[in-house]
Amino acid sequence: MDKLSLTILYANDTNIIVTSTNYKDLQKEVNLTLQLISELFQINWLVLNKNKTSVFYFSLVITDS
Question: How many whole angstroms separate alpha carbon 6 and alpha carbon 35?
Answer: 15
Q: pTM value?
A: 0.67
Average pLDDT over residues 54-64: 77
**How crowded is residue 11: how many other Cβ atoms within 10 Å of its Cβ?**
5
Residue 5: CB atoms within 10 Å: 18
The alpha-carbon radius of gyration of the chain (Å, integer) is 14
Q: Could you tell me the pLDDT band of residue 28, with boundaries at 50, 70 and 90?
A: very high
Report the distance separating Cα 21 and Cα 13, nearest Å. 27
Residue-level pLDDT at 51: 87
Confidence of residue 41 (pLDDT cuts 50, 70, 90): confident
Q: How far apart are CA 51 and CA 65, in angstroms?
A: 42
pLDDT tens across 3-24, in order? 666 766 667 777 888 888 888 9
- The domains of the chain are located at 5-52
